[in-house]
Structure formats: C-alpha cells, structure tokens
C-alpha cells in the first residue's frame, strides 16, 4: 500500500470548512463527533493538564473497549497493527538480546509480541493510563507470557527519571506523539538520550502534515516533519525520516532518533 496521498497531508482537520465538508460526506459520523466534543469539554474542564486530561480520555475509551482505546476497530485490526509494528522493528534492528522501552505500551497490541521475542526481563512498558495497564496484564495472561517477566509501569510524564542511564537499546513510541502537544514531545526528547544505550535508537510515529500544524479536540495532533527533526536536534539528537514505513497500511509517519554522533 502506498503512503498517504499528498492531498491529505495539506488538510487542516481543525478548520470549520473541513469539518463542514466532512460532515456533509459522512453524516453518520456527526452524532459521534458531537458526543466526543461534549466529552472533550467536560474532561477539559476537570483536567487542566494534558496528561490528566488524556488519562481520563483513555479511562473513558477503555471502559467501552480496550482495543478501541488504542485505536483498533476490531480484534483483527488490533492483531494486524501489532504485527506491523513488530515486523518493522525486527526487520530494522531489533534482536532478542536488546532491552526495550515501550512508551505508551497500551494493552500490549504490539507489546505481547515484543515480550515473546525478547529475552526475559528485557521489555519495559510504560503508560499514563492505569485502566489500559490492567488490560495489558490480561493480555499477558491470554498469551501466557508471565515467565518473560516484563515490566509494566504507570508514568505521569516523559522525563523518564526513574529509569537508569544508558539502559535501553530500543525505545519505541507508537501512536503516542499523535496525541501529544509539542511540550510533551519536547520533554521526551530532552530526556530519552540519557536512557539510550550506545548505538541505541528511538522510533516514534506521528501524524504528519505539510500544511499548518493543528490539533483536533486536543486528542489528535498534526506536525510537520521539520518541526520534530528540529526539536530533536536542539537536544543533541539526530532524526531520520523512515521512508519505507510510509509504504505500510498505516496513516502515521515514523522518525528514528539516535544520539547526535551515531
């Protein structure tokens, strides 16, 4: 499958014109969107910081369907997206001996495959949502991976201050920065270099735009590639756009971060 059509990379999904046209083409989605807007206003009033707000979003989504909470419309799609992430990393450097930090591990859509593949104790998953981590533990039981001794931990920020220096060969964040304001991304990039082992790398996906950067209800954020590349460089990191990821059936783009001298 080809990458995103160029016309979609210039769309401002937050504009009134786009929303009106989208509603006209998809009238069946108007009521769900209005419900989501109402929920957004309610949760935004109760949670002023983004982490608290998005944790409440995840609690709401996970209560209905943990798979949908991590962006999968069905169990088949959940399996397919997890396999896509796993196959890509395995083909791009991941080995069983690596130690992996999975930021925004969710309910282990890809994580259970990483845990099964890596040596025992080599997977460390963090997430802001206690509700989704409960679902993650159920996934471990479903796939009988208890003997792999993965770490699953809740985190309230991305300073990574509770993790050791130079420990992780691979850091991974799938569909995390697509839901993050720029200050959260900046926080992660300011600290991820400390926990990377020599020669390690950090892969993350993001919603890419070639037009105006924007967000929809502060749940979905769209960034220009050069914005994130520049942000990484300001923290002494080197960013590479992963062109071959664009050919996969996934709407987001991917950057690989390494230490500046790597």
pLDDT in tens, 141-186: 999 999 999 999 999 999 999 999 999 999 999 999 999 999 999 9
What are the residues whose beta carbons fall under 8 Å from the beta carbon of 86, sequence distance 6 or more?
110, 113, 114, 117
Q: How far is CA 226 from the centre of its chain?
A: 19
Region of 199 (left: φ > 0; alpha: ψ -120 to 50; beta: rest) is: left
- Give the C-alpha separation, 214 to 168, whole Å: 32
pLDDT: is 86 or 216 the higher one? Answer: 86
pLDDT at 44 over 80: no
- In this prediction, residue 49 carries a pLDDT of 80
Position 84 confidence tier, pLDDT thresholds 50, 70, 90: very high
Question: Comparing C-alpha atoms, which of 32, 84, 89 is closest to residue 61?
Answer: 32
How buried is residue 116: exposed, middle or buried, by Cβ count under 10 Å (0-12/13-18/19+)?
middle
> Does the structural domain 6-259 have CATH classification 1.25.40.340?
no
Element of type H or E holding 185 = helix 182-195
Report residue 41 as tokens: 């206003």
In percent, the amount of the chain with pLDDT more than 70 equals 89
Band (2; pLDDT cuts 50, 70, 90): very low
């Amino acid at each position: 499958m080809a990458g995103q059509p160029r016309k979609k990379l210039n769309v401002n999904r937050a504009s009134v014109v786009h929303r009106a046209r989208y509603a006209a083409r998809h009238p069946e989605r108007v009521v769900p969107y209005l419900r989501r807007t109402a929920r957004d206003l309610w949760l935004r009033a109760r949670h002023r910081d983004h982490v608290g707000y998005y944790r409440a979003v995840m609690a709401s989504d996970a209560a209905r369907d943990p798979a949908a909470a991590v962006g999968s419309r069905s169990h088949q799609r959940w399996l397919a997206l997890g396999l896509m992430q796993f196959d890509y990393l395995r083909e791009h450097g991941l080995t069983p001996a690596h130690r992996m930090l999975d930021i925004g591990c969710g309910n282990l859509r890809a994580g259970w495959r990483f845990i099964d593949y890596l040596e025992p104790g080599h997977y460390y998953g963090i997430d802001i949502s206690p509700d989704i981590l409960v679902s993650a533990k159920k996934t471990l039981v479903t796939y009988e991976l208890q003997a792999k001794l993965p770490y699953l931990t809740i985190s309230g920020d991305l300073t990574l201050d509770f993790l050791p220096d130079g420990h992780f060969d691979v850091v991974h964040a799938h569909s995390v920065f697509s839901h993050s304001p720029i200050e959260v991304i900046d926080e992660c990039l300011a600290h991820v270099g400390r926990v990377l082992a020599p020669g390690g790398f950090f892969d993350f996906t993001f919603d890419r735009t070639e037009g105006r950067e924007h967000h929809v209800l502060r749940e979905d954020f769209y960034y220009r590639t050069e914005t994130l590349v520049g942000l990484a460089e300001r923290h002494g990191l080197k960013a590479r756009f992963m062109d071959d990821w664009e050919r996969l059936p996934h709407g987001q783009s991917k950057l690989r971060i390494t230490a500046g001298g790597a």
